[in-house]
Chain A
């Protein structure tokens, strides 16, 4: 049960929220879905003086823009699943959201922004955002900045988000029409965190020849990374090439993450497996 007393705020806008954040001078916690924060408050792992609840801050929703599709930071996994825009333009996010465990309850509560900001390696969204080359908009009292997903994630539980900043939206560039997505997630059983995830964005011509490929692996290293897939361009995806990509994914897992479920050696070994499977999934 929560012991530490705090002041509860429910700002009605981003401006109000960043104002509160600035005023709290670092001693505040933002709550989006709360699926991470609230248990950590309950167990005294976080003891902030201020809680800023984004529930009413109008940060949820999916819309189309020139840049692609814009996803509000507090958009839940079920809202992603319900969004025709996501289904059409960012089917990868649909597949990713479908695989989030914890039941419909957690998909109704957990937000994509919360997953990004928490930056745990045991999460689905980060690798998918990196594969999609999404950019994240961070706002603070003084203004906003955009950060590419690939640089946003800095390590286990570390991101580019600075004290006083709020993630407001995630922009996914509109993909070319010939794109195919692949996703693979390794978890031990239904109760398990994601152990390793791989997301693949593949552009294929009419004959199945690869025009471009982007493959990201999450959970293996302390942060998601992009696998070198240059060898695929100009040829169709074959099993041998997929094995070659798997090997590259494994080599790139040079800073493997260890937690109670799986150590670095295990994660490194399976990084290639999920990479290969996501690639083959995208190619078919």
Chain B
């Protein structure tokens, strides 16, 4: 089975961010190709996901190498083999600072067509620089998307063509698109890319084994737009989101009535809307926090990919919401399937990240002369020394450069996970009546609400009082302490197929369950 996911626009990129974290917790399919579509290439959300995707792929490749470091097939950690193109982001309009006028060759159009364009787009929209996205103007985005070709030579579209070819060859192929229904890139890209994919499928006469799914995000956040210096600027206006959504839903209702584009659509919204503290028009400064509803979209995608998901011939539309109260709980997170418990896996990943970042990662970092003080401790002897011992040089090679790279990369990844969950919890509920207490983050993270790039600052070191709060890290009834983790890593059974650092990483991950 082949799986493909496309995140369109800022929301799509953020949906992918959640999905990557869920995949590192073992909730994903065995393989997945991931790509993003955004005209705003420098967008902070897209860049963040792009970096995360590369980290995931690097770390997974390092820890799933049968000859050196292997977590083994049974391990849930980094289970999904995520691949992507050399550049994971597809820019619909290439070239420096394109405008709509240039894209549609406005000056070369016949006068009557020019007149039609003048009716559809005002002068500002026609001259708007599109290098930072479509600024919540789906009418611009739609024209721009349709003006671009989706040929087989394009690295992004070639993946879609390959997918459809694979389906024709008898392999089951699933493609999933995440996007917002409001805004610019997402709203214009979702229907157009989906319809284009469907068109290719029809052109290639593929009638079975190919499934298309999508997650549509209804408005789930807003922000205050500053009064100064905004005159004449095109940007996403939160007060227009609901009207845009209404129009878009009417469009989709008609589209779905007459044409079966999607096999399954997952629709998510949020009320009350999360309030983003910082407004940025686009570019690298638009670095919005991860929000809880996007996790729904990501889990919808994983449910779609799951082998237990039976897809009917009818188009299915699913919607999901949290419980009625103002409290967002672990029980509001749906399971991917009957056998994949999202809460269990995510909480295990969070505990793993904490323990690795502050407890075990630092112990494994540095040269052998620094690390060797642990050589007689059972966990080290059993999980590290034995598996990184070179019988030729008669040395434990944990301090070697290539091993230290993995140790450091895993620490960075752990910090990303802790930042992600802390930021999501804070940013979804800040300035609203809602409460989210999935984890307790106060003791290890400092929140800087006024900055957009480093909202969450993780502490460099933890005091013993901070460490003792580990049992409260995840708000569940497990009461798992760091002592239990230490005990678990000394007793958990090692899989015979595991190699190198894969042994320690998997055992620590498995130790984070009771």
Question: Do A and B share a complex?
Answer: no
